[in-house]
């Protein structure tokens, strides 16, 4: 999922070349060969939730690539104009059609290999009826012993679920910031 290099200038459409800009910047950037616009590429935020009803956690079976058919927590790319919590709530509505109340920030994971930061909020489900969107084949609740650990779509999901069950066992939920290689 590493992003592809930029090929064309966003301002004028001319091809770009990766080089050090002339302003003392120490990283190579995509610089337009015609109008000299410098294109900055920065990490994207992925926002989601750990939706819980009593003892059970809601997972969604992905209907889209990558990892179609694998299970995930509801999450997706943050949109312009929304907060992280709003984005997490939107993704939970879109992917699961769940009724819920968003709670505290739970995990913050830097994933430098793909240039992303993933943020998960805890969410308290208020109904066990789901209406998943087209990105989801199935949305269902799992007890801890039912979690399909070998069929999870992403390491960020696995790490978040592991911390969720560990915190629940300990009787106290914190906020966990860590890095994924």
How far is 49 from 179, CA to CA, in rounded Å?
A: 18
The count of residues interacting with Zn ion (CB under 5 A) is 8
For Zn ion, which residue of 9, 31, 111, 147 counts as binding (CB under 5 A)? 9
35-43, 66-74, 121-129, 167-175 -> range binding Zn ion (CB under 5 A): 35-43
Q: Which H, E and C letters describe 23-83, residue by residue? A: CCCCCCEEEECCCCCEECCCCEEEEEEEEEECCEEEEEEECCCCCCCCEECCEEECCCCCC
Instruction: Give burial (CB, 10 Å; 0-12/13-18/19+) of 161.
Output: buried
C-beta separation of 21 from 32 below 8 A:
no
d(CA 149, CA 162): 10
- Residue from 32, 60, 78, 109 that binds Zn ion (CB under 5 A)? 32
Q: How far is the CB of 40 from Zn ion (least distance, A)?
A: 14
Backbone angles phi, psi at 75, to 5 degrees: -165, 155
Give the residue with the Cβ less far from Zn ion, 14 or 83.
Answer: 14
Q: How far is the CB of 33 from Zn ion (least distance, A)?
A: 8
Q: How far apart (Å, rounded) are the C-alpha atoms in residues 77 and 80?
A: 10
Among 15, 18, 19, 35, which residue interacts with Zn ion (rule: CB under 5 A)? 35
Smaller CB distance to Zn ion: residue 32 or 52? Answer: 32
Closer by beta carbon to Zn ion, 37 or else 93: 37
Verify binding: residue 11, Zn ion, rule CB under 5 A: yes
Comparing CB distances to Zn ion, the nearer of 15 and 127 is: 15
- Residue 145, CB half-sphere, CA atoms under 13 Å: how many? 0
Question: Does residue 98 bind Zn ion (CB under 5 A)?
Answer: no
Nearer to Zn ion by C-beta: 9 or 58? 9
Where do contacts with Zn ion occur on this chain (CB under 5 A)?
Answer: 9, 11-12, 14, 32, 34-35, 37
């Amino acid at each position: 999922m590493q992003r592809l290099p930029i090929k064309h200038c966003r301002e004028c459409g001319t091809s770009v070349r990766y080089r050090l800009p002339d302003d003392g910047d120490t990283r190579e950037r995509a610089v337009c060969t015609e109008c000299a616009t410098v294109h900055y590429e920065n990490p994207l935020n992925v926002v989601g939730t750990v939706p819980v009803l009593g003892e059970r956690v809601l997972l969604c079976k992905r209907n889209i690539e990558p990892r179609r058919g694998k299970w995930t927590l509801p999450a997706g790319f943050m949109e312009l104009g929304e907060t992280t919590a709003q984005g997490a709530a939107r993704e939970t509505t879109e992917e699961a059609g769940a009724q819920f109340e968003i709670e505290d920030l739970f995990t913050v994971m830097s994933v430098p290999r793909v240039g992303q930061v993933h943020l998960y909020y805890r969410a308290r489900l208020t109904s066990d009826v789901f209406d998943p969107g087209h990105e989801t084949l199935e949305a269902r609740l799992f007890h801890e012993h039912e979690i399909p650990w070998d069929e999870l779509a992403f390491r960020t999901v696995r790490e978040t679920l592991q911390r969720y069950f560990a915190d629940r066992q300990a009787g106290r939920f914190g906020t966990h910031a860590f890095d994924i290689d």
